[in-house]
Amino acid sequence: MMSFGSVIPDLQMRAEGLGAKGYVAGLVLATFSIAQFIVSPFLGRLSDKIGRRKVLVVTCTVATLSSLLYCFATTLPVMVLSRALLGVAGANLGVAYAYISDVTTPENRSAAMGKIGMAFGFGFMFGPPLGALMINLGNGGPFVLGLFSAVFAFVNLMFVLFFMPDAPPSPAEPEHLRKLSPMSKLFSALRTPGLGFLLLLFLIANLAFSNLESTYFRLAHDDYKIDQLATSWILVLVGVVAAIVQGGLMGGLVKRFGEVNLLRVSYLMQSPILASIPFVRPWVPVIVGCTILGIGSGLAQPNLSSLISKAAPAALAGGIFGITQSLGALARIFGPIIGNELYEHGHWIPYAVAAVMMLVPLAMAQFIPRQLGSKSP
């Protein structure tokens, strides 16, 4: 996530500078998610068959190569190719979540998901500001930034190769499911009582949040009048807060309030903050809003991931988390396209749409049974 996050400050502004505007800029940003969407279910099923570690070794290698290619992203085709390769590598997030599910007990799973969420938070905490510094060192070009990103991807690869043991073997996938295509499995999962409801909730929440992710650096430049580095420090705050919630507080919060209640609170916090973002100005209102947003997003991800893992059959852990990541990628395909097009008509519009959309998972979360939080998979 450090490697991935370092490119974020450059990506939105560089795509616009290379002539991509409106939905075209959204398509460039969505290239990563399109590739991730296509590959995630395949990697999940493959990791069920051959083991999580082997899949992670290959995908971390691809991440290193795609970051090196970004060194030469001075044209749109090279940028798109680099993002597509990184999307293939980034499809391993489902495998990472399945690994966590493999090596934890149901009662400890939310805390474990919180720790991997904390790692994501740290990646977004330090990646963007360091990436902005690399842009300055490279005189605005992508070479130093791409090299910086590749170094972190390579360190990650070395860690997986030499320090990460494989997870216990996954239960054999039932024969009737083994024959299904990834898309058939997606529809099968969506039809599964309980599981389908959670996956749909996950899709809508990610679609809402992607409006912010794909336009925020543009909004900060156009309306806040601050540069990429200053904008990155705002993301650092979100990352710090989310990391504290996920890594330090999640276990105790789950034991006291339960996963379902925490999920409801998380969406209740996020909706009004998303609506307010275009109308506040640095620094105190932005700091307060980002703190609340960090708490909300920090609560949502690990609790929803844990609930999904408990609702899914053990034999399909890798496949289900692959499907989950595909749904997240699907949201990040359409979110940037829609968000950047709406941004051209009014900088506040994508955030208003995001806030309204976040009310949908808030309403859906009221119908998640509380006992699911303690139900074994």
Asked, for residue 168, whether it belongs to a domain, the answer is no
Closest to 214 measured CA to CA, from 89, 354, 109, 56: 354
In a domain, 241, yes or no: yes
Q: Which residue segment(s) compose the domain that 69 sits in?
A: 2-163+182-366
Per residue in 321-368, pLDDT tens?
A: 667 777 877 888 898 889 989 999 999 999 999 999 999 999 999 988
In a domain, 170, yes or no: no
Confirm whether 224 is domain-assigned.
Answer: yes
| pLDDT, position 318 | 55
Q: pLDDT per residue over 195-253, tens digit each?
A: 888 989 999 999 998 888 888 988 999 999 998 888 888 877 887 888 788 777 888 89
Residue 19 maps to a domain: yes
Percent of the chain whose predicted confidence (pLDDT) is above 70: 88
CB 199 within 8 A of CB 327: yes
Instruction: Determine, yes or no, domain membership for 173.
Output: no
pLDDT digits (tens, 9 = 90+) for 74-116: 888 999 999 899 989 988 887 887 888 788 887 777 678 777 7
Give the number of domains in the chain: 1
Backbone angles phi, psi at 91, to 5 degrees: -65, -5
For the chain, what is the mean pLDDT?
Answer: 84
Q: H or E segment at 337?
A: helix 317-345
Is position 372 within any domain?
no
In a domain, 192, yes or no: yes
Predicted pLDDT of residue 86: 92
Is pLDDT of 376 > 50? no
Rounded to an integer, the average pLDDT of 255-260 is 89
Instruction: Identify the CATH number of the domain in which residue 119 sits.
Output: 1.20.1250.20
